[in-house]
Amino acid sequence: MSSSSSVWSIAIHPDKRCNLISGLKQWKIFSIPASFPAKSKFRVLRSVKKGKVLEGEISCSSFSKAFENPSIDILSYCDNIYTKLYIVDSLEKLGVQHHFEDVMQRFLDEIYSLWMQNDEQMCSEMITCAMAFRILRMNGYVVSSGKLERFNEDRYYINSTDFDFNDIGSILELYKASQIKLFQDEEVLGKLILRTFKFLKRMISLPPNDGNEATTFLRQEVDYALRYQSYSNLARIEHRRNIENFYLPYIAAMNNKSPKFQQNICMGDILGLAVKEFNTVQRIYQSELVLIQRWVKKTRFDELKFARQKEIYCYFSAAAAHFPVEMSGVRMWWTKSSILVTLVDDFFDMGSSKAEQLNFIQLIERWDEDYSKDCCSQQVRILFSALYTTINELGEEASLLQDRDVKSHIIEIWLDTVNTMKVESDWVRERTVPTLDQYMKNGCTSIGLGPIILPTLYFVGPKIAYNVIKNPGFHNIFRLVSTCGRIINDMQSFQRESKEGKLNGITLRVLHGGGKISEEAAAKDMMDMVEANRTQLLRLVLQEEGSVIPRNCRDLFWKMSNNFYVFYARNDGFSSPTEMMKHVNDVLFQPLVLPIS
């Protein structure tokens, strides 16, 4: 195995007994960039070996050759500040920003410098100012929303009867910018989001005033933006949608002040890169999913009759959020942990007796390798065996990457989680009605995000010291995402759970309201709580000052929040066998075809 090779390649043959992935009848190449830390290479290769998958030769692959330092000349096409903003935005939208990190950083620093200097073009043009605010803030730059105050004036929202291309494009950008709220007292953003939403809603209701294709495209973009806000989607879903709807004439129209950019050569090349990478990485996702399905079969989860079998959904939630090829470890452990959380939740929710629950908790407390003789039932044995084996492997690999023992922390997270799950089971069994505060405090742990997010952080890259894990800021960001997740889940499940005699935040709000609060009012109150927590969560994710958690680790909390919005957008998508399948197919199975513009 030559260390000079640019890519470590593993030949993987799918399990022929698995019919969930059509078309995978040949050996696939799972490529690991040589830029990976040595320990990451060891972790991936060792895991594959344990899964009885054949290791291939170490060599340069098409992945490395196609995507390492793509020769696309961006600088030559950027002759004004808006075009630079548009390039940065497009690279992020198409999911290829990591290939242009130097150019991106150069543009962002230049844009931030102009922002701080109150550059006339940036401050006076709505579309430029709004896009600069959104992009800078989402990339961690400290920018005030005060510069957007001027665009709340009535003259920008005249009662037009025409769908004006330039005006609508500018207000669409302002609408997107107004969603990046970090403080509850940013009143200007609250005013702008209401005003721009109302204006855009009225504009797309108007009949087309011409047959211009770029205008038609813009109408579609407005409609999509009004239905899906920035926090309610996942990266890979967005990438695919943006690639499929990539329309060069619209880009030319939006950059009509840049003669160089009119040639569109640069954006056409970037589009080709995005399509090629999407399809290549998608094949890697399929290979990873095969390994997950083998693991599920090996652990005998299919014998647990009470359990939901959701390995594809769990892997999709990881791949759609953590899309870069080098985040394989994050995807694999996020998925395995998600599957285990789902099964354990079902075990406490409807698949076990009180004695079995106590037995399961005691087994975690003892953590004894000779556990089999202490299991009171076969389903406890199957479930704990999978948990014991998986956490030991996870702890070993995470400890190797972190240069310290972290397994005890992972066991502690699981113990906290199952204890809160038992509390909820006891409430139902004993017909106890907790207060809303008791329910939310317990529910922020029982929702099960701890065993998914927290161990996965060890595979992101940075070393995470013990004092960081115990830092109040760490617990605060976890509390915020858990609160959002708990309430969003409750919003879509409270009617079903009420019929089953179970409690959640909505029903408790009504019950403790003394007959004065309706379900609709309770739901609104809870969603207001979500908005407040989401605002604070985004602030903690984006702001560097005072944070002890690396940015790429903080991103995991935000991506988990996004997952809840996707899965529970209209109903309980996670429990539905069909609700999420279009997204699943788009991200994992259906290749992209280069759009024809």
Task: Go through the domains of the chain in sequence order and give each one's CATH number.
Answer: 7-67 (no CATH), 77-275 (1.50.10.130), 284-586 (1.10.600.10)
Q: Letter for the amino acid at 46?
A: R
* Cα distance between residue 189 and residue 152, in whole Å: 9
What residues contact 133, with CB distance under 8 A and at least 6 apart? Answer: 143, 145, 147, 148, 177, 180
Please identify which residue in the block is written with the tokens 């990451």. 40
pLDDT tens digits for range 238-290: 999 999 988 765 665 565 555 555 454 567 788 889 999 999 999 999 999 99
* Cα distance between residue 89 and residue 132, in whole Å: 10
Residues in the chain with pLDDT values less than 50 = 1-67, 69, 262, 264
Query: Element (H or E) spanning 539, and its range?
Result: helix 519-542
Residue 12, classed as helix, strand or coil, is: strand
What residues contact 276, with CB distance under 8 A and at least 6 apart? Answer: 66, 67
pLDDT recorded at residue 389? 96
Residue 215, classed as helix, strand or coil, is: helix
* Cα distance between residue 286 and residue 587, in whole Å: 10
pLDDT recorded at residue 200? 93
Give the torsion through C-alpha atoms of 15, 19, 20, 26, to 10 deg: 50
Query: Element (H or E) spanning 165, and its range?
Result: helix 165-177
288, 332 in Cβ contact below 8 A?
yes
pLDDT recorded at residue 260? 52
CA distances from 426 to 358, 415, 432, 434, 449 (A): 11, 17, 8, 11, 21
Count how many Cα atoms sit within 13 Å of the Cα of residue 464 in the half-sphere of its side chain: 25
Buried b or exposed e, range 262-293, using 16+ CB within 10 angstroms: eebebbbebbebbbbbbebbbbbbbbbbbbbb
488, 573 in Cβ contact below 8 A?
no
Write out the two tokens for 489.
């889940």
Count Cβ atoms below 10 Å from residue 5 Cβ, excluding itself.
Answer: 15
Helices and strands, number each (H, E), in the chain: 25, 2
What residues contact 61, with CB distance under 8 A and at least 6 apart? Answer: 7, 9, 29, 31
Please identify which residue in the block is written with the tokens 């640019």. 6
481, 429 in Cβ contact below 8 A?
no
